[in-house]
Structure 1
Amino acid sequence: MTEATPGAQPAREFVFVLLEDFTLIAFAAAIEPLRIANMASGRTLYRWRVLSESGEPVRASCGVELRVDGPLQECPREATAIICGGIDVAKRATRPLINWLRREARRGVAMGAVCTGAHVLARAGLLDGRRATIHWENREGFAEEFPEVDLGGHVYVLDGDRMTAAGGASSADMMLRIIAAEHGAELAGEVADQLVYSTPRAEGDPQRLSVPARIGVRHPKLAQVIRMMNENIEEPISAAALAEAAGMSTRQLERLFRRYLDRSPKRYYLELRLEKARRLLLQTDMSVINIALACGFTSPSHFSKCYRSRYNRTPYRERGISGPE
């Protein structure tokens, strides 16, 4: 890094904490904009350290192993600690890590997270009453476990001295916003150009593509019905009610789904509910019965039957435990 210009404001420091099985792209997308900002400005605007709980190298979810600068340690009060999560994040929220986070937060260190790292901050109670985000695949489980967090579906959220990014490229979006706020939009634009990132997203942008873009179909009525299905998982709406809301007959709705998605509305709706159930099974400690109810199944046996048909194993086997077949 280059030396700071005399009289310039001190470099801002970030402390990245890598959890085992962290998502490499989310970490790289957070740290690279800082490096490029230093290079583009010719000054040391940002400094960083990379830590792990033990100080040992950490393996990313893709299998790449990274060396770190040391174990958990006291941070400068003006620093920002960023938890970099990934797979099985609930298992990474160890007592030493939680204690360290709480201690550093009490000292005034700002706290952030990328990908699933928000789970660890929430487990430490550092997101209570705060706005936050997490990767969309983990959203249902997070919301069930941490109802005191104001969870949104945005690419990133900045709430005072708390910052969270949903994962993937969203880390870059968040850092570009910080660079623009601290050193101007022109520098942030130079950094984005170096990243070959032509359209950085704003804080309020959604994580996922629109329904038409996701399914590859731009039929407004089909998109409307699918949105309604996604918004009514716990209490499914009948095909007749869906058709009426979209201004068509039930037969027209059936033809629309067959033509564009090669399945009936009932089958598509069931698949959405089972996908949510699988995420809850893998990401939360909710009972199988409560998951069944949360996904619109009034009978646990019917839920188990449908789940087995879809995933070739029962909900209990999904969790690696014995249970009713």
Structure 2
Amino acid sequence: MPTPPSRAKQTATGDTPKRFVFVLLDKFTMLSFSCAIEPLRLANYVAGKPLYTWKLAGENGLEATCSNGATFKLDMGLEDIERDDVILVCGGIEVQKATTKPVLNWLRREARRGNVIGGMCTGAYALAKAGLLDGKRATIHWENQDGFLEEFEEVKLTKSVFVMDGNRLTTAGGTSSIDLILKIIASDHGSDIANNVADLLIYSTIRTDQDTQRLSIPTRIGVRHPKLSQVIQMMEANVEDPLSPADLADQVGMSTRQLERLFRRYLNRSPKRYYMELRLQKARNLLMQTDMSVINVALACGFASPSHFSKCYRSHYNTTPYRERGTQGPTPGTGNRLSI
């Protein structure tokens, strides 16, 4: 690896390295974890001395297995740590099951000591379950947002790539850990070192906490039509109380017939069908991510009748809501969805 040009231009804030404690929950996501720890390693390389150290921790103190089956040897169990340590909880699939009482008790204890605590990917669920995100802004992977919103109403959930609210940090998963750690490195040691780390990672676009995690609607649907995007945005914002096609058309200044033609032309389905698919997708998320009753899931997705909900769900997914939940295993909750 070539020597970075700014290696001699470090602006360190002190001689004592900052230590990170990575808490690896069972079935944590490797990508989110590796995207957090590698920038720390590269920051040390760029600076030519240790700016950061880290330990791997977990409930059993021996090893942790990530969602792809790889196993990591742990340095420690859930022991007392120094007040200056930064705790990053790495979550993945089945995070509700992995968020055990010992984990919650340890997080609450360390929070009382004033530690900075973050949640990587679905690790935000563990922080919220411990009550550490009450009244704070936070984020979680977009696929887990529906269930999170239902369970933690006191958390100000955003769609940002990452969020820093006081001494609480959360990321949306995937490569968003890189953006958070680069932000920390820049704050600790200056933007030159952070930018050099990004270059070594071949990371050409550093995102901020103002960037959202999902692609824009035109990019997602593969169509750049402002009124179509506006209508879909309204649909996504009004799932519990669906708007009629007439209301949607009126708000974008067109007739219902024009709206129908617009959806047929670009999405090969009617506005009503597209809206129904959005609602059923949210319903599936809630069934697989929460322990909400099927009736409450139906109401949350704009279905006044459970029987109508079941009929629509069967037609779209070829199974009933009750069987859908049953096939996902015995542990309902946020963690049942696959996280990146």
Which TM-score band (shorter chain)?
Answer: over 0.9
Which residue number corresponds to residue 193 of structure 1? 199
1:162 aligns with 2:185: no
Which residue number corresponds to residue 102 of structure 1? 108
3-state SS of 1:113 partner: strand
Which residue number corresponds to residue 85 of structure 2? 79
CA separation in 1, counterparts of 2:13 and 2:196?
Answer: 24
**Cα shift at 1:62:** 2.0
Which residue number corresponds to residue 50 of structure 1? 56
Which of 121, 126, 135 pairs up with 2:132? 126
Which of 276, 281, 293 pairs up with 1:275? 281
Which residue number corresponds to residue 334 of structure 2? none
Residue identity (%): 62
Which residue number corresponds to residue 335 of structure 2? none
**Cα shift at 1:7:** 9.6
CA separation in 2, counterparts of 1:252 and 1:150?
Answer: 37
Tell whether the 8 Å contact from 2:13 to 2:188 is kept in structure 1 after alignment.
Answer: no
Which residue number corresponds to residue 221 of structure 1? 227
> Would the alpha carbon gap of residues 268 and 77 (structure 1) be closer, same or farther in structure 2, given more than 3 Å must change?
same
CA separation in 1, counterparts of 2:105 and 2:179?
Answer: 29
1:290 aligns with 2:281: no
Identify the range of structure 1 (236-245 vs 27-36) with the bigger mean alpha-carbon deviation: 236-245
Equivalences for residues 138-177 of structure 1 within 5 A: 138-177=144-183
Higher relative contact order (CA 8 A, sep 6+): 2
CA separation in 2, counterparts of 1:141 and 1:163?
Answer: 20
3-state SS of 1:175 partner: helix
**Cα shift at 1:6:** 11
Which residue number corresponds to residue 21 of structure 2? 15
Which residue number corresponds to residue 248 of structure 2? 242
3-state SS of 1:144 partner: helix
Structure 2 counterpart of 1:281, one-letter code? L
Which of 207, 210, 218 pairs up with 1:212? 218
Which residue number corresponds to residue 310 of structure 1? 316
3-state SS of 1:16 partner: strand
Which residue number corresponds to residue 188 of structure 2? 182
**Cα shift at 1:57:** 2.3
Give unpaired runs (5+ residues) of structure 2: 1-10, 328-340
Tell whether the 8 Å contact from 1:75 to 1:109 is kept in structure 2 after alignment.
Answer: no
**Cα shift at 1:69:** 1.6
**Cα shift at 1:10:** 1.3
CA separation in 2, counterparts of 1:174 and 1:146?
Answer: 23
CA separation in 2, counterparts of 1:312 and 1:30?
Answer: 40
CA separation in 2, counterparts of 1:306 and 1:36?
Answer: 51
**Cα shift at 1:301:** 0.4
CA separation in 2, counterparts of 1:254 and 1:88?
Answer: 40
CA separation in 2, counterparts of 1:9 and 1:30?
Answer: 22
CA separation in 2, counterparts of 1:64 and 1:257?
Answer: 45
3-state SS of 2:114 partner: coil
**Cα shift at 1:248:** 1.6
State the Cα deviation string for residues 78-133 of structure 1 (Å, max 9, x = none).
00111100111111110111111111112222111100001111111111111111
Which residue number corresponds to residue 260 of structure 1? 266
Report runs of 4+ in structure 1 exceeding 3 Å deviation: 5-9
**Cα shift at 1:77:** 1.1
Tell whether the 8 Å contact from 2:12 to 2:188 is kept in structure 1 after alignment.
Answer: no
State the Cα deviation string for residues 196-217 of structure 1 (Å, max 9, x = none).
1101111111111110011111
State the Cα deviation string for residues 213-271 of structure 1 (Å, max 9, x = none).
11111111111110010011011111111112122222221121112111111111000
Tell whether the 8 Å contact from 2:87 to 2:117 is kept in structure 1 after alignment.
Answer: yes
3-state SS of 2:326 partner: coil
CA separation in 2, counterparts of 1:166 and 1:41?
Answer: 28
3-state SS of 2:224 partner: coil
3-state SS of 2:44 partner: helix
Structure 1 counterpart of 2:169, one-letter code? M
Tell whether the 8 Å contact from 2:12 to 2:189 is kept in structure 1 after alignment.
Answer: no
**How many aligned residue pairs are there?**
317
Report the TM-score when normalising by structure 1: 0.94
CA separation in 1, counterparts of 2:228 and 2:105?
Answer: 49
